[in-house]
Every structure is written in C-alpha cells, then in structure tokens.
Amino acid sequence: MFEQFLIQLEVSPAFLLSVVTILSLMVGSFLNVLIYRLPVMMKNDWSCECRELLEDELDSKKIKNKDNLKQPFNLFKPDSHCPVCKAKVKPWQNIPVLSYLLLKGRCGNCKTKISVRYPCIEFLTAIGSFTVAYVFGYSAETLVLVPITWVFIALIFIDIDHMLLPDQLTAPLLWFVLLSSIWHVFQTPKDAIIGAAAGYLSLWSVYWLFKLVTGKEGMGFGDFKLLAVVGAVVGWIKLPMVILLSSAVGAVIGIGMMLAGKAGRGTQIPFGPYIAIAGWIAMLWGEQILNWYLGVLA
C-alpha cells in the first residue's frame, strides 16, 4: 500500500502537489500553535530558572500568574481554545483556512473576531511547500526543503513578534541539513560544513566589528545560526548573494516603515525574516540568479 502511494507520488506531479499542499495546510495550523506557544514556554522556563537561581519563592504580589505556572503549557496542552470565552476549538472549527472562512473569521461560541494572521500562515505554508514541490518535483531536494520551509515560516513570525530565533528550531534544522548532505542533497558533506561555518562566521564577524566600532549589538546570535543553515544548503559561494539580498530587502522595508512613521532610527528591526526569505529564494533559484548576475557582469 505504501509502495503504491510512493509510486503514485513519483508518476503523478498533480498528486504530489496535492499531497504536499494538504499536508502543509495541516502543518501550517500547527505552526500557528508553535509560533505563539514556544516563546511563552521559553519565557516560563527562563522565569523558573531565575527563581531557582535566586532562591526566590512564589509571591502572589510579585507573580500575578503563579496559578498559571502550575498548569501544563506546551505545544499540546492546553487544548486550543478561544482566548476570550475559553471555549475549546472543535475539530471541524480547526480545518486550515476553510474553518476560518466558514466561521467568517469569528469564534464559533462568542463571535469574537479571529485574527486573519492564522489562515494567512496556513496559506503561506501551503504555497511555500507547493512551490518547492513544483520546482523540484519528486526528489530528495523536495523532501529536505519542504520541512525547511515550515521551520523558516515559524522562525520568521517568532522573530517578528519577539526578536527571537529559538535554538530549539535552528539547531535541529542545522543538523537535519548537515545529515542530508551525506546523501549529497544540495551539497556534499564537506561543502555543507564549509557553508555552515562560512554563514555563521560571516555574521559573527560583522557583529563584533559593529560592536567594537559603535559599542552596540547590531544583531543576535540566532541570526548567525540561521545563516549557517542557509550556508549548509546553498554553499559558501552563494552566501554573499543571500546576505546582499537580505540586506536590500531589510533596508527597503526599514526605510518604508520609517517613512510611514512606524519606526524611527533607533527602532530595532529583526533581521531573521530577511535571512530566511533570501535564503529560501537562493535554495530554489540561487543557481539561476547567480548565472544571470554573472551574465550581466560579462
């Protein structure tokens, strides 16, 4: 049965694209949970570690949510529910994108408006994965790049919300890419390791140079690790293209935000989303972009 399923994926591009899209819609629903809960879980852990280190006792006057700390809070508990009326989300209300449309963007119980961001993330996950499967077809590249796409989407929105790129996501992703190089997916093991090191050290060097000159931190260590993932996939040769593209996109968006009055000169803007977007583009079309650029220079 499973062999027939794999054969159908290989011989029918339409079936492959359908499976990848449907699966990614469901993953997108989970990413909404991950994007919201993982930073909260990390902050709870940090809070517990700080209290243990300082031997601080729970004080209701100091910690208003001490009862909440006793409740399990992870990626699976508590069950999905409305933040206003606390009603649990029923299975039919949790169908990616479709449920949002059927409910007209409101809670099925109290009619509180649901953020359009949730179906947008589900749709974005499906479109990104569909694009990967369309470009690479039934291949090891698709098998590797689709999960990378999922994690990149989670990292983008977590960084936008919290200026944070969790090691819980970047570290496993880096190992996943390096292990895939054993089968020469995208890069050989040697090139993948060199690419990862070059990606990390390039931003690490910029970070320390900027700090020595200005005394300020221009970016976080999570950015280094994210570019290491990108370097392990695209190789060190394409890293300058990724850095230039991400810097250009970041500059355009930053200037646009300043002109719109949504950011000032001192406003911190997360760099992770631009690395992820530029890296993803380079993973899919980096060779064509590089050939086009060399052709222009010639």
Q: Is the pLDDT of residue 289 over 70?
A: yes
214 lies in the same domain as 88: no
Q: Give the CA distances from residue 138 to residues 132, 166, 204, 232, 286, in Å, rounded to whole numbers and listed in that order.
A: 10, 31, 36, 22, 20
Between 250 and 99, where is the model more confident? 99
In a domain, 123, yes or no: no
154 lies in the same domain as 55: no
146 lies in the same domain as 237: yes
Which of 23-27, 102-106, 141-145, 267-271 bottoms out in mean pLDDT, i.e. has the lowest?
A: 267-271
Residue the block writes with tokens 């190789």 = 235
Q: What is the pLDDT of residue 19?
A: 97
9 lies in the same domain as 60: yes
171 lies in the same domain as 276: yes
51 lies in the same domain as 157: no
Which of 139-143, 235-239, 256-260 bottoms out in mean pLDDT, i.e. has the lowest?
A: 256-260
In a domain, 121, yes or no: no
Q: What is the pLDDT of residue 168?
A: 95
211 lies in the same domain as 280: yes
Cα–Cα distance, 75 to 283 (Å, whole number) = 29
Q: Please tell me the total count of domains within the chain.
A: 2
203 lies in the same domain as 84: no
Q: Is the pLDDT of residue 61 over 50?
A: no
Q: What is the pLDDT of residue 55?
A: 65
In a domain, 46, yes or no: yes
Domain encompassing residue 92: 2-102
178 lies in the same domain as 273: yes
Q: Are the CB atoms for 148 and 281 separated by under 8 Å?
A: no
In a domain, 118, yes or no: no
Which of 3-12, 63-72, 141-150, 282-291 bottoms out in mean pLDDT, i.e. has the lowest?
A: 63-72
Q: What is the pLDDT of residue 89?
A: 84
Q: What is the pLDDT of residue 60?
A: 47
Q: Is the pLDDT of residue 56 over 60?
A: no
In a domain, 80, yes or no: yes
In a domain, 158, yes or no: yes
19 lies in the same domain as 97: yes
150 lies in the same domain as 293: yes
pLDDT per residue as tens digits for the range 178-215: 999 999 999 999 999 999 999 999 999 988 998 888 88
